[in-house]
Amino acid sequence: MCRAVLLLVVFSLSCPAAEALDNGLALTPTMGWLHWERFMCNINCDKDPDNCISEKLYMQMADVMVKEGWKDAGYEYVCIDDCWPSHDRDAKGRLQADPRRFPGGIKKLADYVHSKGLKLGIYGDVGKNTCAGYPGSLGYYEVDAQTFADWGVDLLKFDGCYMNWTLLGEGYVNMSKALNKTGKSILYSCEWPLYEWPYQKPNYTAIRETCNHWRNYADVYDSWSSVKSISDWTASHQDIIVPVAGPGGWNDPDMLVIGNFGLSHDQQESQMALWAIMAAPLLMSNDLRNICPRSKKLLQNKLIIDISQDSLGKQGSLTGKFDSFEIWERPLSEKRLAAAVLNKQEIGGPRGFVIRAIPGWKMCDPKCNVTQILPEYKEMGVQTPKSNIVLSVNPSGTALLTITPLSSDFTEMYKLRWEDLSVKQKHATIL
Ligand code: GLA
């Protein structure tokens, strides 16, 4: 689509820097559930039948996703991660699910998930073994792609363990081709850049042409330090990775860990806001059968999901740092803007932050409409270049806003102008 409009300069400016994998999938960031962070490689179904990696876990998650509003909110993929297969391929060289934990096999599980109106994701590895030591796909790309297609699988997460790094690109490209050859639409989630960064700068043009999303950085853990390190990595590499994201291909900062044990509620709000601004896949890894209502409400917040899934398809970035505040902005369709103000000071109480809509702020000249989505929904109303928008942000929390210009002739996106009140009024922590 981008190619067709290249002559029209105005439209071509909205195209990402490279062509996306042309499989018609992931036109907006993928939404779903993925088992890894919460359930890891728990294969002990005798001792822990409710939490081990077995067909029951995915069937129960699919049931809850339909019953509890997750599907209606947009979460669509139920994804298996590592530790699902048997250690041995079958007589024809095909992967097979562990027969004790998946007695019905993956095809039956896919049928079940499809009967709920959801999609099934599976996991493989470009190398000799998966990271947890199960059989990898090296030497079997076509066989495995066909097996996944025959089972009716809708998404493949393809890891990069046990692979000579110089062959990574070739392997990921060959699996992409093998998936395409099956004729079934299978969303392709890669970890290619993550495994290449230690050696060289990855070729993101090739990655975007090959994968629907790609992990760049380390695995997420259930902790604020992990979420922070991911957003820090993203900010420090944004010049390289932001331009390449767009419909069909996204940077993947890893799973949402909201609803688990390690993040305070403010930190959960920060992860949700940042992942929406970063146009990240929203793949939750938590126990949907038992999740606190506040986390559930946050994960199902329609206004945040609307930012994540915005049709303009541009990834946002870090646009300002003031004292320990970070400002992240994402351009949205209809010339709107999403802005997140993150308070990274992990001591004290709520801190004031003022957005001054000074005359340089073209979005609000002559006026704009501002809505606060986090920490709570608040119509902030019509603002003008004379306005001061006052926010209060908790330690490691985030204020999330959308700004809609009300000027008919507003054509360009201008960065906001911010002023950190607490820098000016050193001791005024609460407004
Ligand atoms: C790697 C990946 C994780 C997960 C595990 C499974 O560490 O990055 O997301 O898939 O392997 O072993």
Instruction: Give the nearest ligand 1 atom to 132 CA.
Output: 12
Report the candidate in 246, 303, 301, 254 with the shortest Cα–Cα distance to residue 279.
246
- Please report whether residue 5 resides in a domain: no
* pLDDT of amino acid 363: 76
* pLDDT of amino acid 184: 98
Same structural domain, 354 and 296? no
Same structural domain, 302 and 324? no
Same structural domain, 191 and 76? yes
Distance 81 CA to ligand 1 centre (A): 8
Same structural domain, 99 and 204? yes
The CATH number of the domain holding residue 100 is 3.20.20.70
| Domain end (from 308, 325, 360) | 308
Report the candidate in 20, 49, 325, 70 with the shortest Cα–Cα distance to residue 176.
20
Domain range spanning residue 143?
18-308
82 lines ligand 1 (CB under 6 A): yes
Report the candidate in 335, 339, 333, 343 with the shortest Cα–Cα distance to residue 317.
339
Read off the pLDDT of residues 259-294 as tens digits, 9 standing for 90 and up. Answer: 999 999 999 999 999 999 999 999 999 999 999 999
| Domain end (from 308, 334, 350) | 308
255 lines ligand 1 (CB under 6 A): no
Active site residue 154: no
Report the candidate in 260, 256, 350, 346 with the shortest Cα–Cα distance to residue 304.
256
Residues in the chain, pLDDT under 70: 1-14, 357-362, 408-431
Alpha helices for 68-104 (secondary structure H):
70-73
| Domain end (from 286, 308, 330) | 308
User: Choosing from 159, 252, 365, 420, which is the catalytic residue?
Assistant: 159
Distance 82 CA to ligand 1 centre (A): 7
How many structural domains compose the chain? 2
192 lines ligand 1 (CB under 6 A): no
Same structural domain, 321 and 304? no
Active site residue 46: no
Element (H, E) at 31: strand 31-34
- Please report whether residue 3 resides in a domain: no
* pLDDT of amino acid 12: 40
The CATH number of the domain holding residue 385 is 2.60.40.1180
